[in-house]
Chain A
C-alpha cells in the first residue's frame, strides 16, 4: 500500500515537472508556473501556522511527516526552477545565435558581392 502511494507521488511529481517545462513558452504554461509558486508560498505559511495540517496531509498520502511532504515539494520546485532557467537560457542563446548568423552572412555576402536568393 505504501509502495503504491510512493510510486504515485513520484509519477505525479515527474508529470508535473514535465508539464511545467513543456509549457514554458505559452501564456498558460507560464501562468501555471506562477500559480505553482503562489501555492508553494501558501503551503509554507500554512505549515508555519498549523503544523498539524501538513502532518495530517502527509499521513493521508502515506508520507511520514508533514515536513517531509514539504521537502518533496521544495525539491521538485528547485529542480523545476533549475531546468526551467537552463532551458530559457538555451532558448535565448538560440535566438542570439540566429541573430549573429544573420549579421555574419549579411556582412559576408556584402564583402563577396553575393546576392541572397529567396
Chain B
C-alpha cells in the first residue's frame, strides 16, 4: 500500500483502476486515495457489501458502481470493465485488489510494458517477484491452481491467480468474464488463450497483511472452483 513515488501534479487520465469491493470499509479509502495521488480514474464495484464500503468509496473520490446483490469477484470485474470502457480518454485498464496487497510501483512498471504496444495484457506474478508474509498453505494452493490453470488454458505462467493485471482497450472491449466467483482467474487465462492476446508476466510483490490473510480464500474453496470449472467444461 505504501507508494514511494512522488505525485507528479497532473493526474494521469489515460489509465483506469478497477477494484472489486466486498466488505472492505476498513481499507478501501486508503487504497483508493493512494491510487488517486497519480491516477484520475478509479472504478470501485461495490459487490453488495453489508458494511460502509460504499460511503468510503465515495469519500475517496472513486466512481461507485453498485451491484444490487452479491455476485462474486469475477462478476464485479466484468461490471467494472464495462463501466470503465465508457470513460473518455482511457486507454489502459488495471485490475487491482481492494485489500491493499498490491504495490503501485509494480503498476508503473506494468504500464510501461503495455505502453510499448507489444502486448495486450500484462500479468503480475508474485512467483517471479516476491511475497511478504505468505502462509505455507496458501503457497501449496496457489501452486495447485497454477498447475490446474495451465492445463485448462494451455498458457505457461508462473502465477495464475494474481489480481493485478493491466490490459489495453482492445482487451477491455472484447473480454467477457462469465464465471462470477473466484474461478474467473482461470477463465481470464482461457480468454487470453482463445482470443490470442499478446501477454507478458511481470514480477510483482504481494504484501500479505493480517487483514488480507483474513480475507483470503480457504483451501476448500479450491475444491469448489475445480469442480465448477470441470463440470462446465464437460457439460456446457
User: Which A residues lie at the B interface, using CB under 8 A?
Assistant: 18, 21-22, 24, 83, 86-87, 90, 93-94, 96-97, 100-101, 103-105, 107-109, 111-112, 114-117
Contacts and interface: CB of A to CB of B under 8 A. Distances in A.
* Tier of interface size on chain B: 20 to 34
Given A83-B231, A87-B235, A93 B82 contact: no
Nearest to B236: A22
Contacts, number: 58
A112 B63 contact: yes
Contacts of A96: 69
Contacts of A18: 234-235
28 contacts: A18-B235, A22-B235, A24-B235, A83-B231, A87-B235, A90-B232, A96-B69, A97-B75, A100-B67, A100-B71, A101-B67, A101-B79, A101-B82, A103-B68, A104-B45, A104-B65, A105-B65, A105-B79, A105-B83, A107-B66, A108-B65, A108-B83, A109-B83, A109-B86, A112-B63, A114-B86, A116-B86, A117-B86
Q: Is the interface of B mostly helix, strand, loop or mixed?
A: mixed
A76 to B, nearest CB: 15
